[in-house]
Amino acid sequence: MSELTTMPLSKALNAGLRAALAGDDHVLLMGEDIGPLGGVFRITEGLQAEFGPRRVIDTPLAESGIIGTAIGLAMAGFRPVCEIQFDGFVYPGFDQITSQLAKITNRHEGALRMPVVIRIPYGGHIGAIEHHQESPEAYFAHTPGLRVVSPSTPNDAYWMIQDAIRSDDPVVFFEPKSRYWPKGEVDLAQRALPLHASRIVRRGTDVTLVGHGAMVATLLQAASLAEGEGVSAEVIDLRSLSPVDYAPILESVRRTGRMVYAQEAPGFASLGSEIAATVAEQAFYALEAPVLRVSGFDVPFPPAKLEGLYLPDADRVLEAVDRALAY
């Protein structure tokens, strides 16, 4: 039975966190300024007042300390959810995440689980300064032992954060900060998909467009523009970056014969590189053109006034579609 409402992605995350806190006393939230302030983006607004400072914990400005403390809490039976204020601030905690959190369960042959969620607002489109608009997802998707996901809609945000918290494995939860404010429909009673499933969001017959996070909205815009030129584009939201659900992607490519992957992150050694290679391996005889990639450039994220030149937009996606159709 559906229970539909409309809210922005930020509020959907807040509602999902509230449901997780209410449903399990072992769930804790940790992060810088997440208490009375509610976090930089107000994702945790009102939660400390509702659940108290022992469950919604303002931490010092020390990402390695946040992650290290979360690991100890997980060992003690808790389910900590860590907020990293901005994407570029995760690196001080990188060693804790990749050297310890990702490996502890394997080190103990499965006997010690690590139910830790690390929430990371990421990506551009907000005109911010250095270290505030990065897309570091490939570092974590490359690391065995971590699950990596990214919602693109409020409904996915509401359900995926709860599923991530219920996971007995560590989950890196990338939140596209530029999508925090647009509203969308949320079904509070029934989830649509499991955590690690990709999703076809628009049907098409001529080319498959694949992306994640904020890029899904760009792909949908490109698909609408392509339709005006007589091109039918199918759009797939990856949702899970590790593991990747390839079945819908491969099924789509076998029908369309062409694929374009788009991402905000730099293109070299990226998620798009891996997915393009896998599709080329597993759907080679169905392809009418090479798998093409549209990405950020292989340079540090530029100053805010230049982000429009760096970030892929619908025009760059359509240019790749034209190249794919020209083969």
* Catalytic site positions: 132
SS (H, E, C) the chain: CCCEEEEEHHHHHHHHHHHHHHHCCCEEEEECCCCCCCCCCCCCCCHHHHHCCCCEEECCCCHHHHHHHHHHHHHCCCEEEEECCCHHHCHHHHHHHHHHHCCHHHHCCCCCCCCCEEEEEECCCCCCCCCCCCCCHHHHHCCCCCEEECCCCHHHHHHHHHHHHHCCCCEEEEEEHHHCCCEEEEECCCCCCCCCCCEEEECCCCEEEEECCCHHHHHHHHHHHHHHCCCCEEEEECCEEECCCCHHHHHHHHHHCCEEEEEEEECCCCHHHHHHHHHHHHCHHHCCCCCEEEEECCCCCCCHHHHHHHCCCHHHHHHHHHHHHHC
